[in-house]
Structure 1
Amino acid sequence: MELFPTIHTNFWDAVIAVPVVMILTQLLKKFFHIKPVWVPTIALIIGLLISVFISHRGNLLAGLFMGWFYGYAAIGSYAALKTTIIAYKKRKAKRT
């Protein structure tokens, strides 16, 4: 008996799922004017839904584990991208 599920990371996990979560989160934020405090929770829920019902259906533990990965990877990627853009704009404004 395995205590932990065997989870295989594939192309879907690495390249498609996290950007899909980011895009869906941004679309929902734009169209429904969601408060910023709720955006990470929504990204996590979208990640869980995609993982459990699409990419890892049939294995609930793997779906939940990878759903957390999708959601939090999207949150972290968005935060890093936003911080980079803000730093770039500040640096560019400082030079002029």
Structure 2
Amino acid sequence: MLSEFPVIHTNVWDAIWGIPVVILLTWIIKKIFNVKPAYVPSVATILGLAISIFISHRENLSAGIFMGFIYGGVAVGTYAALKTSIRAFRAKA
């Protein structure tokens, strides 16, 4: 049984590098493979997990999994917020 929570160290690297890369790769995959909008969050989560587990937090699997879900969720949220803001701006113009 898990008796204590793992210590997960995050840093500026996660926000400056990890999340924008997930956003960019998700957008590229969406355009190249014509991914349906319903599957975009899953693509972002898979990319976030891959980047976090294999690159950012390869020394700690539990931290990699946790931060992978964070990367994917933040990437999807940021993309959706920007898309909504741009649509609202264009509608008023």
Question: What SS is found at the alignment partner of 1:9?
Answer: coil
2:43 is equivalent to residue 23 of structure 1: no
TM-score where L is the length of structure 2: 0.93
Give RMSD over aligned pairs: 1.3
Equivalent pairs, count: 92
Q: CA separation in 2, counterparts of 1:12 and 1:49? A: 16
Whichever residue aligns with residue 52 of structure 2, its letter is S
Task: Return the alpha-carbon distance in structure 2 between the equivalents of residues 2 and 85 of structure 1.
Answer: 46
- For residues 81 and 55 of structure 1, the distance between their equivalents in structure 2, rounded to whole angstroms, comes to 25
| Identical-residue share of aligned pairs (%) | 55
Distance apart, 1:2 and its partner CA: 6.0
For the pair shown, which has the larger CA radius of gyration, 1 or 2? 1
Q: Specify every segment of 5 or more residues in structure 1 that has no aligned partner in the other structure, as ranges.
A: none
Equivalent residue for 2:55? 54
**Alpha-carbon displacement from aligned partner over 1:36-78 (angstroms, at most 9, x marks no partner):** 1111000000000000000000211100110000000000000
Q: Which runs of 4+ in 1 moved over 3 A?
A: none
